Amino acid sequence: MQNQQAQPERKKKVLSLIQPTAVPTVGNYLGALKNWKQMSEDYDCVYGVADLHALTVRPDPALLRRQSLETFALLLAIGLDPDQSVICVQSRIHTHAEMAWVLNCYAQFGEAARMTQFKDKSKTNADNINVGLFTYPVLMAADILLYQADYVPIGDDQKQHLELCRDIAERFNSLYGKTFTLPEAFIGKVGARVMSLQDPTKKMSKSDPNPRASVSILDEPDAIVRKFKSAVTDSEARVKFAPGKDGINNLMSIYAGCTGLSYEAIEAEFEGKGYGDFKAAVAEAVVEELRPVREKFNELLEDKAYLADCIDKGTETALRISKRTMDKVKRKIGLIRL
């Protein structure tokens, strides 16, 4: 009797969405986006533009449409392949909103009220503390559970949200039997943690009001050079990674993320050289790292028909996958299915 050929092992599923509220920074790129291409080789990935999440701040409609299309184009520009991964726009897939309502009925008010991000945003947006802001983590849970994701790449500020997602999934599973995969935080290659160029004790943010504090993925080379020239360092003028040298440590982290060099190799390369030389080298490394992304992005924006085809393809695939979960949930909770 012939031995049956072993079936290939199922790839684990990863889901990650990005809000279209502003162009990502070099920090977002080195910390996460740069690794997404490799993740798509190793895992079964769903990537998307989280435009429904962006509605909590009531964005200008025309701006939201433009930024959503640009964010989708950016996902392709960093090297994601629509033939290899699911790349979609959240609002085009009606199951996200459907599942969010169902999960709202299985999330406890006290659980949602404990989310520190809601508390923080309520303080900074006191004139617009809307229900969507409160239930934001439940929509995030719907995004994840619809695709039966095994892993979700998250930052420290999203750990609570993933725990809430797991709590909701466990509650539903205990009531109706195994329905949802319990997702875990993605622990993969650690990207660079990039801090503000003007206050290196704070994480670089695309919403920083100081334009010199962050570098956008789409910044022109001249702008990148100017920002790094004005980056905060210290008075020692020695390129060495050490406690208390937040500014130079940050620049070394960025340089390492772009070149792949270790801190020891960077220290050796710039032995005897000042911060001016080092800042110029970091700027050049960032310019070259981002150049192909910016060029591909500009090329894609010129081909709206191709972008529309890719969005339609992602919508069709995402709907097919997510409807399997949605239909299962509807059956289990007693909704009529014809």
Catalytic residues: 121, 203, 206
Q: Are 299 and 73 in contact (CB under 8 A)?
A: no
The Cα–Cα gap between 218 and 282 comes to: 17
CA angle, 283 as apex, 80 and 293 as ends, to 5°? 15
Q: Largest Cα–Cα distance in the chain?
A: 77
Q: What are phi and psi of 179, to 5 degrees?
A: -125, -45
Q: What is the DSSP string of 263-323?
A: HHHHHHHTTT--HHHHHHHHHHHHHHHHHHHHHHHHHHHT-HHHHHHHHHHHHHHHHHHHH
> Closest Cα partner for 166 from 139, 145, 135?
145
What single letter denotes the amino acid at residue 190? V
